[in-house]
A = this chain, B = another copy of it.
Amino acid sequence: MSDARTSNDAWEALLSAHAVLTKRFGAEDLWRHVSMREYDVLYTLAKCHEPIRISELNRHVLLSQPALSRLVQRLCRRGVIASASDAADGRGVRVSLTDAGRDLQCRIGRQHARSVARAMTAALSRDEVRALEAICLKLARDGAADMTGRPA
């Protein structure tokens, strides 16, 4: 029964770490041309080696589908991503980085990665960092999978 208490404390701690670090990173003078949310999309696309569906993108970005849809439109207009209707499924759209977009992602990403590494290593030991990753991956995987179960 104290299990529930511990679980909630852990979730609260995760939220707190997320908020504190996000604020810290967001305060950096680095997001003049791309907001953090936009970068999130660019980063996700950078990890894909082929054009990706918007709905798939939406699984990685904490935005409603309409908001993501419009964010994609804006990024297209800026020329950092390209979208084309899916050949295999006329309803769908596939988006990918343009060369300019990949370039932009790399430049921002390099700086941002430095900040992230600095923050993490300043607070945690190597083992703790590894443990954090393993635990969070479990959480993410399981949290997504359970959506198919009963509706909470």
Q: Which positions in A face B, CB cutoff 8 Å?
A: 3-4, 6-11, 13-24, 27-28, 60-62, 113-124, 126, 128-144, 146-147, 151-152
Write the chain B residue with the least CB distance to A138. Answer: B123
Decide if B3 touches A137 in the complex (CB within 8 Å): no
Residues of B within 8 A of A137 (CB): 13, 16-17
Which chain B positions have C-beta within 8 A of A18?
A: 14-15, 18, 62
B115 touches A19 (CB 8 A): no
The majority secondary structure among interface residues of chain A is: helix
Q: Do the beta carbons of B126 and A6 come within 8 Å of each other? A: yes
Ordered by A's residue number, 5 sampled pairs between the chains whose C-beta atoms are within 8 Å are A6-B126, A6-B129, A16-B60, A24-B152, A123-B143
Q: How far is the CB of A142 from chain B (nearest CB, A)?
A: 3
Which of A11, A61, A119 has the most CB atoms of chain B within a 10 A radius of its CB? Answer: A11
Beta-carbon contact of A14 and B11 below 8 Å: no
